[in-house]
Chain A
Amino acid sequence: MPATIKTTHPPLEVQPVFTGDSAPLLRAPEKIQSIFAVTTAAACLPLMAGWLFFGYHAVIVSVVSVVSCVGLEWLYYRVTHSPALFGRAHAYLTGVLLALTLPPFTPWYVVALAAAFAILVGKAVFGGVGHFLWQPALVGRFAAAVILPALAQLAPVGETGKTVTLTPAQWPLLARDHLLLGDLDNVAQDRMYSYLGWSDRTAPPGAEGFALPHPADTLGPLTRGEEPAYSALAYPRTDAPNREPAVLTVLPPVGDFLFGARPGGVGETCAALILLAGLYLVYRNYVKWQLPFAFLASAALLAAVAPVRLAGPNQTIEWTWFPLFTEGLDVGFTYVCYQVLSGAMLLAAFFLATEMTSSPVTTGGQVIFGVGGGLIAMGLQLYFDTAIPAYLAVLAMNTLTPGIDALWLPRVFGQKHFAWLRRR
């Protein structure tokens, strides 16, 4: 028997009404897509500097990197039928960042492999944007760093007169006044000790470009006491006639460092443009200045105070503290600048460490992250023979990020200090 339905008056008790959107009804115009797009555009600045210095091989690396990142992400979402977050914007960003970190003549298949690692291992495994633990581009770069020396072992190293067969392990390569077209086997290699920068050279006839030693390859042995010939940071302690500072005689002039005419990854070298793009990101509030500042400052500080092994008189090698002061402030300052600028510290500090998802949320946490990253990066660069010290440092700090986020809890308004420690 159907229940009798009583006709009722409209309900007269007080009850909430669902209104759809909730307060606030105004939102800031900034969206995640625009963050990724602007960061990508900013990253394109150092990328284009890389094209200028390293020729069309750098262009190939960039194109392969971006295309394979975007393609792989598209494929991944097609295959797994999971909805893509934020379209392809983050894949473009990852592609560009990966290209920035790779050496300009990396073979295309290594680039594609690195991109696969970046997208699949770095991102997709964790569940996409917003979830990953490590900066995806650096995961790809790490894979490339493992693959590249392995390839170098396989490839034959030949040397015929002034031209050499380049292997991927030999990083440096610069074009001069023209794009690096044609066969890369045919480039001129400079001698290590006559390396005085690139800007006042002319390429020998028939050569495509210069193969120069990477500045880190010059600085590293100097601080690890492996090259007694340098004997000291500045002046040879033996009373040789040469009283030029060693850091100046074996490294390119500072102008080359600033404008990027030195060997390195595609986007690592041009300090001026990295700074410009990084400061623009800071201006847009996509990067908090505290992180890159803490990163670079702590790296510089470590370089200034950490002991290095310098060759003393009579072929002895001794630990020397405070390289900033041992041989005069001017030499020490130059030395610290070279240590900070010679690798990928700037790029890591402004573009890779600041990836929002893999860095801490709070500003204080970001300072901890930056200090830790800078110390690890400079420590690796000083004492260990790694190709990617700054990137390894960022990856290490990425691993610690959840811990930093869980432990660095500033006091909340109205709470006592360390309220989260006192259980009720």
Chain B
Amino acid sequence: MTRRYGIFTGGIDIPDEKQATLDEPIAPAWEAEVLRVPLAPCGGQAAEPVVEPGQDVQAGQRLAEAGPGGVDIFAPLAGTVRAVAPVTTAVGRQLLRMPAVELVDLSGPREIPTGPETFDWSSAQPEELRRRLDESQLTTLRRRPQPLGRWVRRAAKAGCEVLVVNAMESQPYVTADHRLLVEYGEEVMRGLAILARAIGAKRCVLAVDRRRTGDYDHLLAPAEHFEVEHVALPHKYPIGSDPILLKVLTRREVPCGGGPLDIGAAVIEPAGCLAAYFWVARKVRLNGRVVTISGEHVTRPANLFVPFGVDARSLLHSARPPYIMGGPMIGTLCEGDAVIGPATNVLLAIDPTPTGSPSQCIRCGWCRDHCPTRLNVAVLNDLYELARVESAELLGVLSCMECGVCSYVCPARLPLTRRMGELKHAIRRLRPGPAARDESLAHPHPETT
């Protein structure tokens, strides 16, 4: 069955730069000698450490107990606890400083584990699956991670019809999800089926980049078996953005300031499916993720399976900081001591385009023409400069998905994306209600891959 899918207005073609790592198989990260496992991978409040300095821990042993809205933290590898120390890692569009448990004298296997299925998930009750996912203490591996169990429960409560696996990776350089699909495609499909069952979604969609379909032939049989629609979409940034992807796939628009759940859709990424599968079916907790190491200053670009807590310097040793964590369009700059967390799908050593000081908007209208949400960014920028938040809200700034396109094209080099983000933040702060308490919950942050 072929269905025709449209494409969205706006967006840009950016140089792709993926060739360096496209065919690099996933390898273990051998180099790391110290792990600093971040204790607040979802932002929010940090978990409380339950280990003492000097204590020896096994792989998978609990290191810290979750605070409210967080997850328990487990040791990715066996080693010795040296201290609780602050580290930085990227969560959402920010670089956060948070406490971390420092492990040294690491030992144990570093590959993605293999093993037989120990649980018959295909006949389990959805509630049983949800309970297991709660237990897993895993997080989604998106730009702004959430506890996986909580995410599933919210999606189930919202009555999601569609579950979409977003493997578009429309950002330059990123190939982590592509390699996962090539090497662990079957497991990803099973994870998707588990999540769909737990959520109660009737329709599953795997959205991939049209240029890569030749590499995914082995996915067709499992896709048919698990009744997953396999959709290949053309490449145009930011097609990997959740609202845009859902618009293309379902023709429904995420309402202004809302999230995918508001239109009965849930979006997950392949790495999250894989983690869910490993836990539910094999009882193995993946305390790491696949990270693309790339950029012009990297001697050996690679796709590595990296345990959480490896610092950027030991992965990019030959290149000099600052590095970019999370992709060139939506990521943040970081120093060498920043560590890999669940949100880090790519670590780059490239030179950011020098921007100089922003100059004056000349109203060329390119930002508006390329904005995938058709926001009049030039006018919103004026409102930002005048600090007129209410007018900005009336113009729909809450629809902005912070994809970075407007800043990318602006010839005046204005930091438009950041300004839009600040406007949104200001609107939510002014609003009464639960927004002020838990921003990520009340206002799901639009994701882009």
Contact = CB atoms under 8 A, between A and B. Distances in A.
Interface stretch (B134-142, B272-280, B311-319, B368-376): B368-376
Contact of A356 (B88, B94, B363, B407): B363
Interface residues of B, number: 74
- Most chain B CB inside 10 Å of its own CB: which residue of A13, A20, A24, A85: A24
B158 interface: no
B399 A86 contact: no
Contacts of A363: 365, 369
A415 B411 contact: no
Contact of A362 (B88, B368, B407, B413): B368
Interface residues of A, number: 51
B417 A24 contact: yes
A22 B363 contact: no
B333 A25 contact: yes
Nearest to B415: A22
Nearest to B402: A23
Contacts of B396: 412-415, 419-420
B331 interface: yes
B44 interface: yes
Contacts of B408: 24, 26-28
- Most chain B CB inside 10 Å of its own CB: which residue of A359, A409, A423: A409
Interface in A1-59: 10-17, 19-28, 30-32, 34-35
- Most chain A CB inside 10 Å of its own CB: which residue of B88, B243, B396: B396
Contact of A26 (B328, B362, B375, B394): B328
Nearest to B378: A361
A27 to B, nearest CB: 4
- Most chain B CB inside 10 Å of its own CB: which residue of A30, A129, A361: A361
Given A14-B96, A17-B88, A357-B363, A28 B46 contact: no
A149 interface: no
Interface stretch (B104-112, B204-212, B353-361): B353-361
Interface of B: 12, 14, 40, 43-46, 84-86, 88, 93-99, 172, 243, 247, 253-258, 322, 324, 328-334, 350, 352-353, 355, 359-366, 368-369, 372-376, 378-379, 394-396, 399, 402, 404-405, 407-413, 415, 417-418
A12 B85 CA distance: 8
Given A25-B353, A361-B368, A19 B360 contact: no
A413 B374 contact: yes
Contacts of A227: none
A14 B97 contact: yes
A129 B95 contact: no
A21 B368 CA distance: 22
A414 B360 contact: no
B334 A414 contact: no
- The 3 lowest CB-CB distance pairs between A and B, nearest first, are A24-B404, A412-B396, A413-B373
B98 to A, nearest CB: 4
Contacts of B254: 413-414
Contact of B256 (A14, A19, A21, A415): A415
B179 to A, nearest CB: 22
Interface of A: 10-17, 19-28, 30-32, 34-35, 85-86, 128-131, 285-286, 288, 356-357, 359-363, 366, 405, 409-415, 419-420, 423
A419 to B, nearest CB: 6
Nearest to A413: B373
Contacts of A35: 362, 364, 411
A23 B360 contact: no
A410 B374 contact: yes
Given A19-B95, A414-B373, A419-B256, A26 B360 contact: no
B96 A357 contact: no
A414 B333 contact: no
A31 B410 CA distance: 8
B399 A23 contact: no
Contacts of B368: 361-362
Contacts, number: 183
Contact of A23 (B12, B330, B369): B330
Contacts of A15: 96-98
A413 B417 contact: no
A12 B84 contact: yes
Contact of A25 (B95, B331, B375, B409): B331
A36 B197 CA distance: 58
Contacts of B40: 14
A47 to B, nearest CB: 23
A24 B328 contact: yes
Contacts of A130: 360-363, 412
30 contacts: A10-B85, A12-B84, A12-B99, A14-B43, A14-B46, A14-B98, A15-B96, A19-B95, A23-B328, A23-B330, A23-B331, A25-B329, A25-B333, A26-B329, A26-B352, A26-B408, A27-B355, A85-B359, A128-B360, A131-B360, A288-B365, A359-B363, A361-B363, A362-B365, A362-B376, A405-B379, A413-B247, A413-B373, A414-B258, A423-B394
Contacts of A356: 362-365
A13 B415 CA distance: 29
A336 to B, nearest CB: 31
A27 B407 contact: yes
B399 A129 contact: no
Contact of B86 (A10, A288, A409, A411): A10
B440 to A, nearest CB: 13
A31 B328 contact: no
Contacts of B399: 412-415
Nearest to A19: B333
B332 to A, nearest CB: 5
A319 B85 CA distance: 89
Contacts of A20: 333
Contacts of B364: 35, 286, 356
A21 B373 contact: no
Contacts of B366: 285
B333 A32 contact: no
A21 B352 contact: yes
Contact of B329 (A24, A85, A360, A420): A24
Given A10-B86, A16-B96, A27 B363 contact: no
Contacts of A19: 95, 322, 332-334
